[in-house]
Chain A
Amino acid sequence: MTLYLVRRLAVLVASTAVAGVVVFAFMALLPGDPAEIALGVNATPEAVAELRAQFGTDRPPVTQFLDWFGGLAQGDFGTSYVTSAPIGPQISDRLGVTAVLVLGGMAVALAVAVPLGTYAAVHHRDPLGAALSALSQVGIAVPAFLAGILLVFVFAVRAQVLPSGGYVPLAEDPGEWLRSLLLPWLSLGLVQGAVLTRYVRSAVLDVLREDYLRTARAKGRGRTGALWRHGLRNASVPVVTVLGLQLATLLIGAVVVERVFVIPGLGDLLLNGVAGRDLLLVQGVVMVLVAAVLLINFVVDVAYHLLDPRLR
């Protein structure tokens, strides 16, 4: 297990470095020179050259990359060419908001999918089980932003019980913080929950056919007891894979949902950066998102090993 952890950690570090090269290369290949953008079309070549020297963008790309990537390891994302503000603090401020949004969305998805999926599997012959299964199909077809708009329409515009957007920091007012996040969580989580329900259902259906469940019943467990004690952990192995993929999807979904609900997260920062042509900021945010996905995959792989002794 320790050996595996070390090896997997090495893979994580290596893949993050490769991702850094790719992100940097893509941004470097994009047309548009930060100094030209900053000075506008009427700038003299001398002024542009001077600003380039100031930004450090006149150096060879390899030097620039090493400087940028080395800074990342120490939490230094560089200084924005557009606003002259350091990028690191902006990202760390917003990372927390996005993390809370994504994890909350995941929690909603799990809270929906595990009970419903299990019920749909156990009662797959009954009308209600089949109806749940069909309903989850519909849920899959709805994109997160549409779900968000519908939820705003129902709970904010019609019922007026929840705010339609905006974000209140936790430290300021915990109650309002919760209220401001409720609709974003639901719009992210319900759609993913519908997808996850299908996976939970099929994983539980598979497990229900397993011989060891019959063994558990032969020992004296009831149907439900056997499923709880022996089925759910076995069913969770395939579900964890999907969960990892979904976390990555949620991260992307968060970019859109942050726009819909005006939440100052990473997605919002990224879109601001794009709109303001703040190349270094975009580069930093994209790097953080990519690193987050790699980290999620790492956690999923380790979770696998903890769940299934056959892999150890």
Chain B
Amino acid sequence: MLTVDGLTVDGLGVRAGDTELVREVSFSIGPGERVGLIGESGSGKSLTALSLMGLLPEGVTATGRATLAGRDLIGVPESRLKRLRGRDLSMVFQEPMTALNPLMRVGAQVAEVMTLHGRGRREARARAVELLERVRLPEPEQLARAYPHQLSGGQRQRVMLAIALANEPALLICDEPTTALDVTVQKRMLDLIAEVAPALLFITHDLAVVAAVCERVLVMYGGRVVESGPIREVFTRPRHRYTEGLLAASRLTPRGTRLPTISGSVPAAGHFPGGCVFGNRCPHADALCETVPALTGEGHAHACRHPAG
């Protein structure tokens, strides 16, 4: 669990008032490693990412410990955190259409992240054009002078990626970066992210996307990590009953057969069962599941009393 260089998260919790939204999340990402974080909406995956960035919404707080290259990320004053954001770790968000300032030229928005962290203005401008080229935008010189509304969604997301990469961060976080894009644009964006990311935390609800980009995966449900391990193993031999159901639901089924689903629906925040968070929807749940199962196992870990396989 102890990596000095990469990201280490230990016992991360996120709460809004009395409601616990994320509980006891622990994982690590080594340098150059690409890790996927999957789960349904409301599973706490975005909050996990935002708490690492120190960008949780007002009234939502994080507890626990997270370090990046030995630097603390949680419970640290904003003045210290803002020096790390955009330099040591950066993030690409889900919605490219609204993530850029509509009144500012694209090149200036890329250059800003560099001048903020101490680079000279002229150097930052020049490097902004290089970065636009690096994320494969055509005619980067002209594009740097364009305003966001003159670019397509895919192009804007590439600009966001250029901003995120500008200061050579140690960790890149991507929160559903291709969900809002056309399918044809998605693939190229994913290839690009996989190619340029230093270490990557990739959040998605799309299993095919995570399989294409990541080496390791964390499955979240009800604010907890319920399973983690190498992609191939987790996807071919899921242990947690939730992961099993998720994979079954996403598999292509022959015509005329019923689509397998997970029964019930995701409870509202704060209304998950007390023991295993999946207990009320799991066909295998029994009295044993009324106490919280720990995430156990080396490499491929799961938090389930009645694992599959």
Contacts and interface: CB of A to CB of B under 8 A. Distances in A.
A223 B113 CA distance: 15
B82 interface: yes
A234 B102 CA distance: 8
A7 interface: no
Interface in A196-228: 210-212, 214-223
B93 interface: yes
B53 interface: yes
Contacts of A310: 102, 147, 149
Contacts of B53: 218
Contacts of A223: 78
The bracket for how many chain B residues form the interface is 20 to 34
Interface residues of A, number: 22
Contact of B82 (A220, A229, A230): A220
Interface in B93-120: 93, 95, 98-104, 112-113, 116-117
Contacts of B99: 211-212, 214-215
Interface in B138-185: 147, 149, 160, 163
A214 B99 CA distance: 8
Nearest to A308: B103
B102 A215 contact: no
Interface string A125-145: 100000000000000000000
Interface in A171-213: 210-212
Contacts of A222: 78-79, 82
B98 A309 contact: no
A295 interface: no
Nearest to A212: B101
B300 interface: no
A309 B58 CA distance: 31
Interface string B22-55: 0000000000000000000000000000000101
A309 B151 CA distance: 13
B86 interface: yes
B90 to A, nearest CB: 6
Most buried by B among A212, A220, A229: A220
Nearest to A230: B101
A233 interface: yes
A308 B87 contact: no
Contacts, number: 71
Contacts of A210: 98
Contacts of B216: none
A233 B83 CA distance: 24
B149 A215 contact: no
A51 interface: no
A307 interface: yes
A229 B109 CA distance: 11
Contact of A220 (B85, B102, B149, B160): B85
Contacts of A216: 101, 112
Contacts of B160: 215
A221 B102 contact: no
Contact of A230 (B85, B93, B95, B104): B104
A307 B101 CA distance: 13
Interface string A45-72: 0000000000000000000000000000
Contacts of A309: 102-103, 147, 149
B163 A211 contact: no
Contact of B58 (A125, A220, A230): A125
Interface-centre pick from A219, A220, A229 (highest chain B CB count, 10 A): A219
A135 to B, nearest CB: 24
A233 B103 CA distance: 8
B91 interface: yes
Interface in A225-258: 229-230, 233-234
A308 B84 CA distance: 32
Interface string A286-312: 000000000000000000000111100
Nearest to B53: A218
B85 A211 contact: no
B82 A307 contact: no
A112 B246 CA distance: 57
A14 B244 CA distance: 72
Nearest to A312: B147
23 contacts: A125-B58, A211-B93, A212-B98, A212-B100, A215-B99, A216-B101, A218-B53, A218-B86, A218-B90, A219-B85, A219-B112, A219-B113, A219-B163, A220-B85, A220-B86, A220-B113, A220-B116, A220-B117, A230-B101, A234-B101, A308-B103, A309-B103, A310-B147
Given A215-B93, A310-B147, A310-B149, 15 more contacts: A211-B99, A212-B98, A212-B100, A214-B93, A216-B101, A216-B112, A217-B82, A218-B55, A220-B83, A220-B113, A221-B82, A230-B101, A233-B103, A308-B103, A310-B102
Q: Which 9 A-B pairs have the closest CB atoms?
A: A220-B86, A211-B98, A219-B86, A219-B113, A309-B147, A212-B101, A220-B85, A211-B99, A220-B116
